[in-house]
A = this chain, B = another copy of it.
Amino acid sequence: MTYRIPPRSGTAFALEKGQRLTVIDPEGEQVADLAAFSAADPREAISNGRTIDYASKLFFTTGDLIYSNRSSVMFEIVHDDVGRHDFLLTPCSAEMFRKLYGEDEPHRGCFGNLAAALEPYGIQPDQIPVAFNVFMNVPVDGKTGEIRVDPPLSKPGDTFTIEAKMDLIVGLTACSAGQSNNFTYKPIDYRIE
C-alpha cells in the first residue's frame, strides 16, 4: 500500500526494526524531510554530527548508515535512485521563511508539520533534529564553505529506501520551502514493507 503526503504537509508513523520505508517522488524535484527517533526513548534521534563523523563525508547514499546522537545505527540506506540528499540543514520553518524569504505570514513549514505529526508520540518541537532531507540538493563549495539550495535531481517515480535498525518513530514531509523544490509544491508518496 502506498500512502500520499499532500503538498506542504507531513505525517509520522512507527517503523519497526527490519521494516523498510520507501520514499517516492511521484512528480520529480520534490524534497521529503525525514526525522527519526528511537521508539524506546525519543530523546535518541538521528544526528548529522555523529553520522558525518563516522562516515567522514557529508553526502549519503546506498549502503550508508545513519547514526543517532547516542552513536547507535538508526537506519541503513538500502536503495537510492537519485544519489543526492542533504543532511546539513534544519527543516524549513515559519522563522526561516521570515528570515530568508521575507514572508510576513509564513507557512509553518516542515518544522511545524513535523512538530504537529510527532506531538502524539510525545516528541516536543525542540527535540526535532537536523532532518535527513531526502532528494534535497545542496551543493557545497569546499574552498569557501558556501552552500546553495538547488532543484532536486529526482525525476518522477524515483525512490529512496531505508531499513530500520531499531524500532523507530519516523516523521516525514512533503517539503514546504520554495527554493528546495524548484518553486512548486508537490506531494510525496511512501510505502512500508
- List residues of A whose CB falls within 8 A of some B CB: 43-44, 47-50, 52-54, 56-59, 69-71, 88-90, 93, 95-96, 99-100, 124, 126, 128-130, 139-148
A100 B53 Cβ-Cβ under 8 A? yes
| Bound complex: CA A90 to CA B51 (Å) | 9
What B residues does A100 contact at CB under 8 A? 53-54
B140 A58 Cβ-Cβ under 8 A? yes
Q: Contact partner of A71 among B71, B93, B142, CB < 8 A?
A: B93
Q: Contact partner of A144 among B54, B57, B70, B99, CB < 8 A?
A: B57
B57 A90 Cβ-Cβ under 8 A? no
| Bound complex: CA A182 to CA B115 (Å) | 42
A49 B88 Cβ-Cβ under 8 A? yes
B49 A70 Cβ-Cβ under 8 A? no
B142 A53 Cβ-Cβ under 8 A? no
A89 B57 Cβ-Cβ under 8 A? no
Residue of chain B at shortest CB distance from A141: B142
| Bound complex: CA A146 to CA B57 (Å) | 4
Residue of chain B at shortest CB distance from A146: B57
Residue of chain B at shortest CB distance from A44: B126
